């Protein structure tokens, strides 16, 4: 009965006004999400796709665009989910659809779709719109992709500002803008790169507006209420993580050196006194963080295992190099023996010479390619990974130094004394280092393990190719009966000939000592 009243033509004007306002908010959310995705497609398909290594170095390109590809994929998926959730309330005109979204929900609508506001506002249909549930279902992914993007955004802006002074880059940016000017209102690449920051910051406001026009008995009311709260919390976490990462980066990379020079001198001057204080009050135990301690204890062993893997690969290369050198010397000796004392067995001599040529080819070509492959696909990634451990290692060391400042700050607060500005700043640095390390160290361990595993898989593949090359090159030189099935056959053949060869060698004066 209540539903019939709200959907009848005689419904109160305030209710109609509320439904109309709610529909307009949903329309704004979906339409702006569509425009936002179009801007992301421009970044990907026009700017990033034409950014060649000749224009911008690969490292600069990575910093410049960050994870724009992940943002774009999430945006189109999120847009489709929003449209599905609001189909009964609002369907965008077909003219708004982005032509390249071939497999998305947005291109599967009927051609008869025009303006959704030609029909009357209907409370029954409005109750099928579940925008809040869509936000809740995608909040985790949203935080991941936007959190990563926002951490890199300042670096991208700085790199873009530096690159714009290059004539070739400026020409490229102008060409891209000329091609995109009719499909976006953004002035330049900088204006486009700020879009994700603006978009994610706007979600709480839109959700709040939608919540204010949603009655308490609406199926999506609680979801919207939770989505507003969670979206604000998400932005707070992203902002805190960015501040913490920036602070840690500035500490580890030494950009705060001028500010800390005086304090560094004081620390050196009173270092011994501080050490005695630490021993007396037991700061390490009093302010111990079990979670961090567990991660920090793993760092040393983790780092050593990584180095051991790298050293094993390097040792393999050294041993292989020596083995190839020995085989090459053996092949050269056979050829030299044939040149010095021609025998009555030309077939054997011919086989020796072909063997020598094959070994030289393997040494000069195949072995060079093998070493290059191992260096590029195995050693270089491992060395780069080892260098990446330097930052966390420095951060752990700096955290250890800052624990005294943190203890002093907490001690003052406990005694009801307001800590001075420098003490508060030092305590904030300790907290930032501690929290950031607890976030980054598990990621470092996981990614390092994955990298090493992939490197070892590559190493195995390279070795298989190396063995296959030797087999392919040497097989034509051997008769089918000469190819052993297992090692025991090699041992038997060797022992059968060894005695006779040894006896003949001992007949030579140069060997038996009679010379």
- 333-359 burial, b at 16+ Cβ within 10 Å, e below that, comes to ebbeebeeeeeeeeeebeebeebbebb
Residue at token pair 């109309």: 20
Q: Provide CB contacts within 8 A for 272, sequence distance 6+.
A: none
Q: Mapping DSSP to helix (H, G, I), strand (E, B) and coil, where does residue 185 land?
A: coil
Residues 197 and 333 in one domain: no
Average pLDDT over the chain reads 82
* C-beta separation of 367 from 465 below 8 A: no
The answer, yes or no, to whether residue 188 has pLDDT greater than 90, is no
Task: Compute CA 304 distance to the chain's CA centroid, rounded to the nearest angstrom.
Answer: 23
Q: Report H helices in 43-130.
A: 58-65, 68-85, 123-126
The answer, yes or no, to whether residue 70 has pLDDT greater than 90, is yes
Residues 502 and 447 in one domain: no
Domain boundary at 238, 253, 268, which?
253
What's the whole-number mean pLDDT along residues 240-259?
A: 69
| Residue 263 belongs to some domain of the structure | no
Residues 466 and 497 in one domain: no
pLDDT digits (tens, 9 = 90+) for 9-30: 554 578 888 888 999 999 999 9
The token duo for 29 is 């959310």
| Residue 380 belongs to some domain of the structure | yes
The answer, yes or no, to whether residue 95 has pLDDT greater than 70, is no
Residues 41 and 172 in one domain: yes
pLDDT digits (tens, 9 = 90+) for 145-167: 999 999 888 889 989 999 988 88
Residues 327 and 291 in one domain: yes
- Better-scored residue on pLDDT, 119 or 500: 500
Distances from the Cα of 237 to the Cα of 357, 412, 440, angstroms? 66, 28, 15
Number of domains within the chain:
3
What's the whole-number mean pLDDT along residues 61-88?
A: 93
Q: Mapping DSSP to helix (H, G, I), strand (E, B) and coil, where does residue 414 land?
A: helix
The answer, yes or no, to whether residue 269 has pLDDT greater than 80, is no
Residues 238 and 313 in one domain: no
CA distance 490 to 54: 56
Residues 367 and 449 in one domain: yes
pLDDT band at 3 (very low <50, low <70, confident <90, very high): very low
| Residue 6 belongs to some domain of the structure | no
| Residue 179 belongs to some domain of the structure | yes
Q: Which of 97-111, 204-218, 277-291, 302-316 has the highest mean pLDDT?
A: 204-218
Residues 352 and 218 in one domain: no
Residues 356 and 502 in one domain: no
- 285-301 burial, b at 16+ Cβ within 10 Å, e below that, comes to eeeeeeebeebbeebee
Q: What is the pLDDT of residue 257?
A: 44
| Residue 115 belongs to some domain of the structure | no
What's the whole-number mean pLDDT along residues 382-392?
A: 87
Residues 219 and 293 in one domain: no
Residues 139 and 219 in one domain: yes
What's the whole-number mean pLDDT along residues 426-436?
A: 84
Q: Which domain holds residue 67?
A: 14-94+126-253
CA distance 139 to 97: 25
Residues 388 and 334 in one domain: yes
Q: Mapping DSSP to helix (H, G, I), strand (E, B) and coil, where does residue 395 land?
A: helix
CATH of the domain at 372: 1.20.1270.60
| Residue 260 belongs to some domain of the structure | no
| Residue 109 belongs to some domain of the structure | no
Rounded to 5 degrees, φ, ψ at 408 are -65, -45
Q: What is the pLDDT of residue 250?
A: 75
What's the whole-number mean pLDDT along residues 174-181?
A: 86
CATH of the domain at 151: 1.20.900.10
| Residue 103 belongs to some domain of the structure | no
């Amino acid at each position: 009965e209540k539903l019939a009243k709200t959907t009848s033509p005689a419904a109160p004007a305030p209710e109609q006004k509320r439904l109309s306002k709610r529909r307009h908010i949903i329309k704004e959310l979906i339409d702006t999400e569509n425009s936002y995705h179009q801007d992301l497609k421009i970044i990907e398909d026009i700017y990033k796709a034409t950014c060649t290594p000749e224009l911008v170095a690969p490292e600069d390109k990575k910093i410049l665009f960050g994870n724009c590809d992940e943002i774009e994929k999430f945006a189109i998926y999120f847009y489709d989910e929003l449209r599905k959730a609001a189909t009964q309330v609002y369907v965008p005109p077909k003219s708004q659809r982005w032509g390249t979204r071939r497999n998305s929900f947005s291109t599967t609508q009927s051609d008869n779709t025009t303006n959704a506001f030609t029909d009357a506002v209907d409370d029954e249909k409005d109750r099928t719109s579940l925008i809040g549930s869509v936000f809740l279902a995608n909040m985790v992914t949203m935080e991941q992709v936007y959190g990563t993007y926002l951490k890199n955004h300042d670096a991208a802006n700085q790199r873009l500002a530096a690159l714009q002074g290059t004539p070739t880059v400026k020409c490229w940016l102008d060409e891209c803008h000329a091609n995109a000017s009719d499909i976006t209102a953004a002035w330049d690449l900088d204006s486009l790169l700020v879009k994700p920051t603006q978009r994610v910051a706007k979600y709480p406001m839109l959700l709040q507006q939608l919540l204010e026009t949603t009655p308490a008995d609406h199926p999506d009311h609680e979801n919207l209420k939770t989505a507003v709260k969670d979206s604000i919390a998400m932005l707070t976490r992203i902002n805190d993580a960015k501040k913490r990462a920036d602070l840690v980066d500035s500490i580890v990379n030494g950009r705060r050196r001028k500010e800390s020079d005086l304090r560094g001198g004081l620390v050196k001057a009173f270092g011994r006194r501080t050490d005695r204080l630490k021993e007396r009050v037991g700061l390490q135990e009093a302010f111990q963080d079990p979670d961090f301690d567990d991660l920090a204890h793993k760092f040393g062993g983790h780092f050593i295992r990584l180095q051991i893997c790298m050293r094993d690969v390097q040792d393999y290369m050294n041993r292989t190099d020596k083995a190839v050198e020995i085989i090459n010397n053996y092949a050269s000796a056979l050829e030299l023996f044939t040149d010095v004392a021609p025998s009555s067995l030309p077939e054997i001599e011919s086989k020796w010479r072909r063997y020598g040529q094959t070994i030289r080819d393997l040494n000069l070509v195949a072995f060079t390619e093998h070493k290059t492959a191992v260096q590029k696909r195995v050693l270089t990634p491992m060395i780069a990974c080892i260098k990446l451990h330097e930052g966390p290692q420095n951060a752990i060391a700096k955290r250890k130094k800052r624990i005294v400042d943190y203890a002093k700050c907490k001690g003052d607060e406990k005694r009801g004394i307001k800590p001075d500005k420098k003490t508060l700043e030092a305590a904030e640095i300790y907290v930032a280092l501690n929290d950031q390390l607890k976030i980054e160290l598990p990621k470092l361990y996981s990614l390092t393990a994955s990298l090493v595993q992939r490197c070892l898989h590559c190493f195995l593949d390279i070795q298989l190719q190396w063995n296959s090359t030797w087999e392919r090159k040497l097989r034509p030189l051997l008769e089918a009966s000469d190819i052993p099935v297992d090692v025991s056959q090699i041992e038997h053949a060797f022992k059968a000939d060894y005695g006779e060869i040894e006896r003949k060698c001992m007949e030579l004066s140069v060997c038996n000592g009679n010379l």
